[in-house]
Chains A and B, each alone.
Chain A
Amino acid sequence: MIEDFLLRAAIGGIGLALVAGPVGCFVVWRRMAYFGDSLAHSALLGIALGFLLGIDPTLGVAATAIVAALLMAGLQVRQRLASDTLLGILSHGGLAFGLISIGLTQGLRTDLFAYLFGDVLAIDARDLAWIWIGGGAALVGLALIWRPLLALTVHEELARAEGKRVALAKLAYLLLIALVVAVAMKIVGVLLVTALLIIPAAAARGLARSPEGMAALAALMGVLAVLLGLAASWWLDTPSGPSIVAAATLLFFATAIGGTRLALGRGRA
Chain B
Amino acid sequence: MQGPDAPLIAAEGVSLALDGRTVLASIDLAVHPGEIVTLIGPNGAGKTSLVRVLLGLVRPDEGRILRRPNLKIGYVPQQVDRDPVLPLQADRFLALAGPTTRARRQAALEEVGAAHVARHPFHALSGGELQRALLARALLRDPDLLVLDEPVRGVDVGGQIALYDLIDGIRKRRGCGVLMVSHDLHLVMAATDQVVCLNTHVCCAGHPEAVTRHPEYRALFGSAAERLAVYVHHHDHAHALAGEVLPIGEAGGHPHPHP
Contacts and interface: CB of A to CB of B under 8 A. Distances in A.
Given A162-B97, A162-B141, A154 B86 contact: yes
A150 B87 contact: no
Nearest to B137: A158
Interface string B83-104: 1111111001100111000000
Q: How large is the interface on B (under 10, 10 to 19, 20 to 34, 35 or more residues)?
A: 20 to 34
B88 A28 contact: no
B88 A154 contact: yes
B75 interface: yes
Contacts of A150: 96
B90 to A, nearest CB: 12
Contacts of B57: 157, 160-161
Interface stretch (A91-99, A113-121, A184-192, A204-212): A204-212
A151 B96 contact: yes
A154 B56 CA distance: 20
Given A162-B98, A162-B141, A153 B89 contact: no
Interface in B135-149: 137, 141
B75 A161 contact: yes
A208 B88 CA distance: 9
A4 to B, nearest CB: 40
Interface in B178-207: none
B87 A210 contact: yes
Interface in B157-197: none
A28 B85 contact: yes
A269 B80 CA distance: 21
B37 interface: no
Contact of A153 (B80, B86, B98, B122): B86
B77 interface: yes
A162 B84 CA distance: 24
B141 A210 contact: no
A154 B77 CA distance: 12
A155 B77 contact: yes
Interface residues of A, number: 23
Chain B, interface SS category: loop
Contacts of B97: 162
A258 interface: no
A210 B89 contact: yes
A132 to B, nearest CB: 29
A120 B93 CA distance: 40
Interface in B199-235: none
Contacts of A151: 96
A157 B88 CA distance: 18
Contacts of B85: 28-29, 202, 205
A157 B77 contact: yes
Contact of B87 (A153, A202, A214): A214
Contacts of A161: 55-57, 73, 75, 77
A211 B55 contact: no
A28 B85 CA distance: 8
B87 A154 contact: no
A162 B89 contact: no
Contact of A162 (B75, B80, B83, B87): B75
A29 B75 contact: no
A213 B92 CA distance: 13
B87 A211 contact: yes
Interface string B118-129: 000010100000
Interface in A209-245: 209-211, 213-214
15 contacts: A28-B85, A147-B96, A154-B86, A154-B88, A154-B93, A157-B52, A158-B77, A161-B57, A162-B75, A162-B98, A162-B141, A209-B89, A211-B86, A211-B92, A213-B87
Given A155-B77, A158-B137, A210-B92, 5 more contacts: A157-B57, A161-B75, A162-B141, A208-B87, A269-B84
